[in-house]
């Protein structure tokens, strides 16, 4: 897929105010500082489409970007960083769960995970939540340029071992690096193939 256009459409915290049309959406989410903004900028080949920040937890809104005028890339807030009690936050900000429960246009979520770290309970809990709510998702392992190929294999293997305790099969996944543009073509081809299938129906 060649990205001809990428434009910012709207930011808000109110799911009811998200674009009201039938354009398919792909939502990107992950813990704060996982490299989400960098990945979005790399995918769209725009230097600052998504705002990168040294301060975790900067994205606190649902951001819609219209790509090639035919699909939305949705940048969701990082979860698990804001320092509030679990009862008020329930781990994920309320409007994140509302977004996933209410958005009929959502085709797939992409859960971003830093490949350098061992599987984190909050990421596993979030994937579990998506699974229980029947929301299709893929895992995007970020920052792959920071590890040697063997270490990447080992980290993915440890993810598989943990996920297969509760999942029948390993969820679809991509290995990416924003700085080296690793995984860009595969990820865009995947989105493209889903869009093509949707167009046939």
Task: List the chain domain ranges.
Answer: 6-200
Q: What is the pLDDT of residue 55?
A: 53
pLDDT in tens, 67-110: 999 999 999 987 765 454 555 455 456 778 889 999 999 999 99
Please state, in angstroms and rounded to a whole number, the distance separating the CA atoms of residues 97 and 192: 26
Per the prediction, the chain carries an average pLDDT of 88
- Kindly give the pairing relationship between strand 62-67 and strand 71-75: antiparallel
Q: Which top CATH class is 6-200?
A: alpha beta
Element (H, E) at 142: strand 137-142
Q: Is 40 exposed, middle or buried (0-12, 13-18, 19+ CB in 10 A)?
A: buried
Q: Cβ–Cβ contacts within 10 Å for residue 93, how many? A: 20
172, 18, 192: which is closest to 105 by C-alpha? 18
Average pLDDT over residues 126-151: 95
């Amino acid at each position: 897929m060649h990205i001809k256009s990428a434009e910012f459409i709207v930011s808000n915290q109110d799911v009811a105010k998200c674009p009201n049309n039938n354009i398919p959406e792909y939502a990107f989410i992950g813990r704060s500082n996982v490299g989400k903004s960098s990945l979005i900028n790399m995918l769209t080949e725009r230097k600052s489409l998504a705002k990168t920040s040294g301060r975790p937890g900067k994205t606190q809104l649902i951001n819609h970007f219209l790509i090639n005028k035919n699909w939305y890339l949705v940048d969701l807030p990082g979860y698990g960083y804001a320092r509030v009690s679990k009862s008020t936050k329930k781990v994920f900000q309320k409007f994140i769960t509302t977004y996933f429960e209410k958005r009929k246009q959502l085709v797939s979520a992409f859960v971003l995970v830093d490949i350098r770290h061992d599987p984190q309970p909050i990421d596993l809990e979030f994937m579990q939540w998506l699974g229980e709510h029947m929301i299709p998702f893929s895992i995007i392992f970020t920052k792959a340029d920071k590890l040697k190929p063997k270490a990447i294999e080992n980290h993915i293997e440890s993810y598989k071992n943990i996920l297969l305790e509760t999942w029948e099969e390993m969820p679809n996944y991509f290995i990416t690096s924003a700085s080296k543009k690793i995984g860009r073509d595969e990820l865009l081809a995947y989105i493209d193939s889903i869009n093509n299938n949707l167009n046939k129906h």
